[in-house]
A and B are shown apart, each in its own frame.
Chain A
Amino acid sequence: MTSTLVIQISFFVLAIASTASALGVIIFKNAVHSALSLILTLLFLALFYLQLGAMFIAIVQILIYAGAIMVLFLFVVTMLAPDASESEVRDPLRWQRIIAGVLGVALVGALSYLLFTGVATQSIVTTAGVNSLSHMVDTRGNIEAFGLALFHGFAFPFEVTSLLIVVAILGALVFGRRT
């Protein structure tokens, strides 16, 4: 009973913290501050993944997202816009922000309404028996369960990602070449 309470408290703390840091991404004037706030959001999301029992995804989130991708972001931000404060004075479309805020609140409301009234989330059919994730995690461990699922059911998509990465590298080379 106490563990449920701990999970609930940690969920609400994480929810408030990640919402605040995500708002920081779009509110901060300086792009560097936005990037740092996004790193904080990604770390909070990694804690969400830990709470959901997805150990490998949580570690990969910290390594790849908060580490590699955001370092790339910070490189470009500091290179292009070291003192990038968006000019607030000559913004010709100021009304756009108010409308965007109203529409964002409407989007949250609509999505939450659909989640509550659409599919009955209580009566979802879970996988049972030896193929279920919890059974695999119990018998083989977390990383092994992930790897078995990846290479048994998703081997072809996994191989296709290598093609995607090669194409991305070629694209970055073509754009980065000085002509």
Chain B
Amino acid sequence: MPLSAYLIMSAILFSIGVVGVLIRRSPLVIFMSIELMLNAVNLSFVAFSKFLDTADGQMFVFLVLTVAAAEVVVGLAIIVSIFRTRRTIDVDEMNALRG
């Protein structure tokens, strides 16, 4: 398969993630869409690593994976603490900086 096939696959997955962030109201599903976008970028990194015949792309995937894990830990902690104070997790309800 040519490189552009993988890149277009990555573009499709990334756009699905963007649309998910735009249309959903639950912060959990918005987080899942962000994970989808990160994974789409990972796919293009691995494809570039294969077609440039160097391991650098896989290193970046490794680092993105670590950042994604840290982001999920902090983000879910923020969502849980918002749920504790507001008893709701609809993003339309979150319109005050100090709750």
A-to-B contact residues, CB < 8 Å = 7-8, 11, 15, 18-19, 22-23, 25-26, 31, 34-35, 38, 41-42, 45, 48-49, 52-54, 56-57, 60-61, 64-65, 68-69, 72-73, 76-77, 79-81, 84, 86, 91-93, 96-97, 100-101, 103-105, 107-108, 111-112, 115-116, 121-122, 124-128, 131-134, 136, 145-146, 149-150, 153-154, 157-158, 161, 164-165, 167-169, 171-172, 175-176
Contacts and interface: CB of A to CB of B under 8 A. Distances in A.
Contact of B39 (A35, A45, A73): A45
Given A80-B28, A91-B25, A127 B53 contact: yes
B83 to A, nearest CB: 5
Interface of B: 1-9, 11-20, 22-26, 28-29, 31-33, 35-36, 39, 42-43, 46-47, 49-56, 58-59, 61-63, 65-74, 76-81, 83, 89-90, 92
Contact of A54 (B49, B66, B70): B49
Contacts of A25: 16, 20, 29, 32-33, 36
A164 B23 contact: no
Contacts, number: 230
B59 A18 contact: no
Nearest to B54: A127
B64 to A, nearest CB: 10
A161 B11 contact: no
A149 B59 contact: yes
Given A72-B76, A126-B52, 7 more contacts: A35-B28, A52-B6, A57-B61, A101-B19, A116-B4, A132-B53, A158-B62
A82 to B, nearest CB: 12
